[in-house]
Every structure is written in C-alpha cells, then in structure tokens.
C-alpha cells in the first residue's frame, strides 16, 4: 500500500471521529473503535493517567469526561505510516483548558489504541529557558539559597530530592513561572550517584532519561558511567539556574488544613527550618533507602559486612574470599568489581534472575530510538510519545516476542550460564526486563560483562536450591543402586557383601573386610534387614568380583561360590557367638529402635 492510500484511510477515519466528537455522540464514537480497543489518557480527559479497555469502559469514561472536556480541531501533525498491518498517525487537538497531542493506531479500519496527552495548559504556556536574554539584556542571575531567605520568602512548591527527576521537574515548573525550591540532604545533586560503587553505570538507556531543555550531546553514551552522569547533573543544575538548598534533610511533613499549606520541617547544618509550601513533591527515588536483609547467622560472621550502598573498591580486597548475597544488577556490578580487585568472589543467588545481553536488548528499541527513526524525523520527544502510546497489556506481548528472539539468538550464552548453575527466568509472564522494571525494579541484570565471568567460573556461584537438589540426586542414586542390588543378587543367587570402609583400597582378588547382607535393603542405609561385620581372606571367604562406586567409598562384592556351604554357616555361627562378648569392642553399635543390629567383631577365620 502506498503512502497516499495510508494517509487517505487515516484522514477518513479522523474525519468521522471529528464529527462524532463535535456532536458528543458516544454511540457513533464507539462504532469507530475496535472491540478490543485501548484508550490511554494522560491528563487530557481524566486529569489523571488512566487506561480504559473495551467499549464498556470507554463509554463510561466518555460519559464522565466528554462534555466537560469538549475536544475540538483534531488534525494530523505528520503523514500516517503503515507497519505490520497497523496504520499509525499523530494528531493534535485542543480542549477547554489545554493543547494536546494524540497517537492513533488503526487495525482493520478501526481504532485499536488511542493515546491522548496534554502538552500545555492554556494561559500557562512555558516561558523561554534560562539562556534567553530579555529586553533588559540581562539573564536570570543565579543566587545561592540561604536559611534567612527561606524564613522570609516561602516557595509555592518544594521538591524533596535533587536527583535526576527532582531537577527535571524543577526546570519544568520554573519555565511555567512556579516559585519552586528543591532541597536535598546531600551537598551536591550529583552525590546521589557519586556515593555509590565505582563500577556503577546508568542501567536504563540514556535516551529514556533525557533532561528537559538541555539534551545530551550526540556522542553521549547509551549507558554512561556514574561519574560522567554525576558531572552532568551538577552542570545541569548550574546552567538551568535552579534554586537548590543542599545539606538540608526533610525530617517531617504535615498538612495544615486550616491554612491550606504544608508544614515542612527541615534540618540544615544543625539548624531547624520550617517551610510552608502549598505543593509538596517527593522525588527521593525508588532506591534511596537501603533495604538490608536479615540473614540468619550474620552476627556470627567475624569478617567485615557491607551493604551495597556502602561498598567501594579497595586494594585490600586482593586475595580475600568475598561473598556477594544477591544476583541483581548491583550484585553483578560489585562481584565484577571485587574480581577486578583480585578477590576470590562467590555470588549467592537466592531466587531466579532475568538476564539479557545489552547488545540484543537495544535491538528491541531500534524501531523508535535507532538511526533509522532519526532519519525519518522522529525526535526523542516524539519517540517518547509513541512509546507511551502502547498500553502495558500490549507492551508485555511485544516484549514476549522480543524475549523469544533473544533466547534464540543468545541460546549458547544461556546454556553456558545455566551450566554454571545460574537460575534463569524471564519474568512471571516471559516479558523480560522492561515489564519487570515496571512491576518491581529488581531481580534483573542487563549484561555488560559480569554474566560471562559467572559462565566461565571466574565468579563462583551458590544457589539456594543446590542443597535440596543434591539431596534429591543422592536419593535417586541410592534408589538406582538398590535396584542394581536386587538385579545382581537375583542373577548371581548369592549374598551380596558391602565392604567395610577399611577395605576401600581392595582390588579384585584381594582380601577384604565386609558386611554380608542377609536381606539387602531397598535404600541403604535406611532399610531393614540384619548385617554382620566379618573378616576373611580371598582364599578362605570373600573375593571382590564386583566393584562399584556407591555412596562415596563403598565397594560391592560377592562371596566366592566355592566358599558357600558348611564353612560359611560355621563362620556365621562363630560370629554370632562372639556377639555376646562384643559390647566392649570398638565400633560395636546396637540400634534396636530401627530393628537393625550391626556388630563388629574380629573372627580370625584364616588363622
């Protein structure tokens, strides 16, 4: 289908949609939607971030919002495009209070997904950035925030946290003319990154973390190091001239209903300050507070113990035996860092972990953020809009296809990793890393090299299931050996002999000390039946003719056929007679509770 036909189809649908919206005809609107349609709204209709699914939920949303919102003037922003049978178009429209954008995807001629998003509020348009010089010829002058200033002039909005999100929101509010103060307990905005382990890098692609008003350079890495990103935060705060109070810790907040303001208690350099903003934003991040697990027995460990946020590279780690508890992103980083310092590293994996190689993962985002979309004029902002237009339910399905491709492409890598004992998973719905981040930002690792160190054995691995798995294998081995016992006994029709550990060096045809099993147990040594220790020489009693490994250093033997008969019965009688006097003999064991008695005696049959 040529581009003109795609545009005609999309514009025809948009024309019908415009007419139905203007008439506020909800029935006519629903006819234009696919039965399995999704409508994701970001403030434009619901003043919230909400996704509705199916005709029933869409009707309920329109009943509540359509008349109040009064959307008009839906018009295309760029030509529609066709991909995998889906027609995609980007439009702009207006409501009573805002200018908005929308992404519409058509399947079978009807709307399959619709994103409506507010771009700006009417009457509150963003002003030029801080690099703009006004009529007076002077730019905004940066000023450090003082305690005296906070006591005399109260900000309308306070943002707690001067990290990535806090600074970005501060710039947006500043451009809207909203008096905003950002406070942070650290001395620099970048310290949230600098005070981490040395091998830390940005773990999400940098094009997901663009800062408003000041884009990264063209040669900016996809996963910059922590020092490089920290330098960027400091430079961004300075160049965007944000009002930041550092060294200030928020110790309490309570809303005053009578005044309609917050009472924010701040401690700064041993001095108490109270701020009274009307709006309060917490931008402290997902991992600002350490989550230290309570591991049984850690109080008995005499060596140094550190939580991940306190770890730093140290030459003293050389030749030390180090254990890293956990198998997520930070655990992999620290384990690789310790290995580089010359330590003997063991990783303790407590639960299955998602692992995906960085190179393969980036291929999944190439359709929006790669070089080809850039050549088509798709900017970072537009790519973000298209990415947000995909409802999470559909996004999971897309990532399930990506995971299937990744597992096929990197099958050899995953086989080597599992051979090392690593427990792999790809999420509860096989969606991989991105759905996992949305649910719980942990339990995954985007491989930048540490997985290879595990696969080749440089980083040792211990898993929670290893003990149980070993017990299961031992039980299966005992069952197999017991079956061989019975098969061998039935074939030879002679009693079997289990050699005493003292006879572990015996070879075929050599003397042996062993245990004659009158009734071979089903699973040694837990089964029933009596057994007696006897001593003999090859010429007299036992010859080792069957040698098998069983439960460590155990050999199986059978008596010589020529030695069966009265001599055997006589020797058995001698052994039984000696039981009465074996109570003081070393090695004598009486286990009547288990219906089993094993007696050690030296009969001296060969003398």
Mind listing the pLDDT tens digit for each residue in 149-166?
455 578 999 999 998 899
Q: Does residue 139 belong to any structural domain of this protein?
A: no
Which CATH number does the domain housing residue 232 bear? Answer: 3.50.50.60
Q: Does residue 490 belong to any structural domain of this protein?
A: no
Domain boundary among 121, 138, 164: 121
Domain count for the chain, please give it. 4
- Residues contacting 115, CB < 8 A, separation 6+: 40, 41, 42, 102, 103, 104, 385, 388, 389
CA distance 319 to 342: 6
Pick the closest to residue 169 from 268, 216, 178 (CA basis). Answer: 178
CA distance 574 to 582: 12
Per residue in 318-328, pLDDT (tens digit) is 989 999 999 99
Q: Does residue 483 belong to any structural domain of this protein?
A: no
Per residue in 118-130, pLDDT (tens digit) is 999 998 887 765 4
- Residues contacting 158, CB < 8 A, separation 6+: 180, 181, 182, 183, 262, 264, 275, 277, 279, 280, 281
CA distance 215 to 232: 11
Which of residues 283 and 362 earns the better pLDDT score? 283
User: At 457, is the pLDDT very low, low, confident or very high (cuts 50, 70, 90)?
Assistant: very high
Per residue in 51-61, pLDDT (tens digit) is 999 999 999 99
Tell whether 449 and 311 lie within a shared domain: yes
Tell whether 173 and 221 lie within a shared domain: yes
Tokens of 382: 């537009």
Tell whether 151 and 263 lie within a shared domain: yes
Residue 123 — left, alpha, or beta (φ > 0 → left; ψ -120 to 50 → alpha)? left
Tell whether 248 and 172 lie within a shared domain: yes
Cβ pair 542, 514 in contact under 8 A: yes
Residue 100 in this model has a pLDDT that exceeds 70: yes
pLDDT at 553: 30
Q: Does residue 299 belong to any structural domain of this protein?
A: no
Tell whether 341 and 411 lie within a shared domain: yes
Cβ pair 490, 471 in contact under 8 A: no
Q: Does residue 287 belong to any structural domain of this protein?
A: no
Q: Which long-range contacts (CB under 8 A, 24 or more apart) does 187-191 make?
A: 187/246, 187/247, 188/234, 188/246, 189/162, 189/163, 189/233, 189/234, 189/237, 189/244, 189/246, 190/229, 190/230, 190/231, 190/233, 190/234, 191/230
Exposure of 519 in the CB half-sphere (CA atoms within 13 A)? 9
pLDDT at 198: 80
Which of residues 317 and 585 earns the better pLDDT score? 317
pLDDT at 207: 79
Helix, strand, or coil here: 418?
Answer: helix
Radius of gyration of the chain (CA): 37
Tell whether 389 and 503 lie within a shared domain: no
Pick the closest to residue 111 from 19, 207, 10, 203 (CA basis). Answer: 10
**Of the given ranges (74-83, 383-392, 494-503), which has the lowest mean pLDDT?**
494-503
Which CATH number does the domain housing residue 16 bear? Answer: 3.10.450.50
Tell whether 314 and 457 lie within a shared domain: yes
Per residue in 225-245, pLDDT (tens digit) is 889 999 999 999 988 989 999
Residue 220 in this model has a pLDDT that exceeds 90: no
pLDDT at 575: 43
Tell whether 522 and 441 lie within a shared domain: no
Residue 506 in this model has a pLDDT that exceeds 80: no
Q: What is the mean pLDDT of residues 176-191?
A: 91
**Of the given ranges (57-61, 331-335, 402-406, 554-558), which has the lowest mean pLDDT?**
554-558
Per residue in 535-550, pLDDT (tens digit) is 333 333 333 333 333 3
Residue 45 in this model has a pLDDT that exceeds 50: yes
Residue 43 in this model has a pLDDT that exceeds 80: yes
Partnered with residue 353 across adjacent β-strands are 424
Cβ pair 327, 349 in contact under 8 A: yes
Which of residues 75 and 474 earns the better pLDDT score? 75
Per residue in 508-535, pLDDT (tens digit) is 444 444 444 333 433 333 333 333 333 3
Q: What is the mean pLDDT of residues 26-48?
A: 95
Tell whether 425 and 505 lie within a shared domain: no
Instruction: Classify residue 549 as exposed, middle or buried by CB count within 10 Å of its CB (0-12, 13-18, 19+).
Output: exposed
Domain boundary among 423, 440, 464: 464
Pick the closest to residue 144 from 190, 187, 195 (CA basis). Answer: 187
Tell whether 312 and 267 lie within a shared domain: no
Which of residues 176 and 206 earns the better pLDDT score? 176
Q: Cis bond leading into 525, ω under 30°?
A: yes
The phi and psi torsions of 190 (rounded to 5 degrees) equal -80, -10
Tell whether 319 and 439 lie within a shared domain: yes
Domain boundary among 448, 464, 480: 464
- Mean of the per-residue pLDDT values of the chain: 76
pLDDT at 472: 58
Q: Does residue 132 belong to any structural domain of this protein?
A: no
User: At 334, is the pLDDT very low, low, confident or very high (cuts 50, 70, 90)?
Assistant: very high
Specify the pairing of strand 180-183 against strand 261-268.
unpaired
User: At 115, is the pLDDT very low, low, confident or very high (cuts 50, 70, 90)?
Assistant: very high
Tell whether 341 and 456 lie within a shared domain: yes
Per residue in 259-309, pLDDT (tens digit) is 999 999 999 988 999 999 999 999 988 766 777 778 888 888 888 888 888
Partnered with residue 535 across adjacent β-strands are 513
Cβ pair 167, 237 in contact under 8 A: yes
Instruction: Classify residue 395 as exposed, middle or buried by CB count within 10 Å of its CB (0-12, 13-18, 19+).
Output: middle
Residue numbers of the domain that contains 503: 496-599
Which of residues 110 and 531 earns the better pLDDT score? 110
User: At 138, is the pLDDT very low, low, confident or very high (cuts 50, 70, 90)?
Assistant: very low
- Residues contacting 313, CB < 8 A, separation 6+: 197, 198, 199, 337, 340, 341
pLDDT at 478: 66
Partnered with residue 462 across adjacent β-strands are 348
Q: Does residue 50 belong to any structural domain of this protein?
A: yes
Q: What is the mean pLDDT of residues 332-348?
A: 93
Q: Which helix (H) or strand (E) holds 175?
A: helix 164-175
Question: pTM of this prediction?
Answer: 0.68
Q: Which helix (H) or strand (E) holds 297?
A: none
Which of residues 466 and 193 earns the better pLDDT score? 193
Q: Does residue 154 belong to any structural domain of this protein?
A: yes
């Amino acid at each position: 289908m040529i581009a003109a036909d795609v545009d005609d189809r999309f514009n025809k649908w948009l024309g019908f949609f415009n007419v139905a919206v203007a008439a506020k005809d909800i029935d006519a609107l629903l006819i234009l939607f696919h039965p399995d349609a999704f409508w994701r709204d970001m403030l434009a209709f619901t003043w919230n971030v909400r996704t509705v699914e199916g005709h029933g939920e869409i009707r309920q949303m329109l009943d509540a919002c359509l008349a109040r919102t009064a959307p008009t003037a839906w018009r295309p922003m760029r030509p529609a495009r066709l991909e995998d049978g889906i027609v995609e178009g980007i439009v702009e429209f207006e409501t009573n209070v805002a200018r908005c954008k929308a992404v519409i995807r058509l399947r079978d001629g009807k709307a399959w997904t619709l994103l409506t998003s507010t771009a700006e509020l009417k009457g509150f348009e963003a002003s030029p950035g801080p690099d703009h010089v006004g009529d007076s010829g002077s730019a905004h002058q940066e000023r450090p925030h003082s305690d005296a200033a906070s006591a005399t002039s109260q900000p309308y909005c306070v943002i707690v946290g001067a990290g990535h999100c806090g600074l970005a929101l501060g710039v947006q509010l500043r451009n809207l003319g909203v008096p905003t103060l950002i406070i942070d307990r650290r001395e620099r905005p970048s310290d949230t990154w600098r005070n981490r382990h040395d091998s830390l890098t940005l773990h999400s692609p940098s094009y997901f973390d663009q800062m408003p008003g000041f884009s990264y350079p063209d040669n900016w890495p996809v996963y910059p190091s922590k020092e490089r990103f920290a330098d960027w935060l400091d430079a961004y705060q300075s160049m965007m001239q944000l009002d930041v109070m550092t060294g200030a810790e928020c110790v309490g907040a309570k809303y005053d209903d009578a005044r309609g303001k917050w009472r924010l208690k701040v401690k700064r350099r041993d001095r108490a300050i109270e701020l009274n903003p009307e709006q309060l934003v917490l931008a402290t991040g997902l991992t600002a507070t350490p989550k230290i697990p309570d591991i049984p027995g850690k109080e008995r460990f005499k060596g140094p113990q550190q939580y991940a946020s306190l770890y730093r590279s140290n030459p003293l780690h050389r030749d030390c035996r180090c254990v890293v508890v956990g198998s997520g992103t930070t655990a992999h980083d620290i384990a690789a860092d310790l290995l580089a310092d010359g330590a003997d590293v063991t990783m303790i994996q407590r639960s299955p972990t998602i692992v995906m190689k960085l190179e393969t993962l980036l291929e999944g985002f190439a359709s929006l953020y790669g070089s080809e979309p850039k050549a088509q004029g798709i900017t970072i902002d537009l790519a973000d809009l298209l990415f947000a237009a995909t409802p999470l339910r559909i996004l999971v399905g897309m990532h399930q296809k990506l995971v299937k491709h990744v597992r096929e492409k990197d099958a050899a890598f995953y086989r080597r990793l599992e051979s090392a004992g690593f427990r792999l998973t790809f999420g509860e719905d096989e969606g991989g890393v991105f759905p996992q981040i949305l649910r719980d930002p942990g339990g995954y690792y985007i491989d930048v090299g540490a997985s290879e160190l595990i696969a080749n054995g440089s980083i040792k691995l211990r898993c929670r299931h290893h003990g149980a798995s070993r017990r299961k294998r031992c039980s299966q081995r005992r069952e197999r050996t017991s079956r061989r016992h019975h098969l061998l006994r039935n074939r030879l029709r002679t009693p079997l002999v289990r050699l005493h550990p003292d006879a572990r060096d015996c070879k075929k045809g050599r003397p042996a000390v062993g245990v004659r099993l009158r009734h071979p147990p089903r699973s040694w040594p837990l089964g029933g039946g009596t057994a007696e220790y006897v001593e003999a020489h090859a010429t007299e009693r036992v010859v080792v003719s069957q040698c098998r490994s069983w439960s460590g250093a155990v050999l199986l033997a059978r008596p010589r056929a020529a030695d069966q008969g009265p001599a055997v019965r006589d020797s058995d009688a001698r052994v039984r007679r000696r039981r009465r006097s074996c109570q003081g003999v070393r090695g004598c064991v009486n286990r009547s509770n288990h219906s089993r008695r094993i007696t050690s005696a030296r009969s001296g049959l060969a003398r």
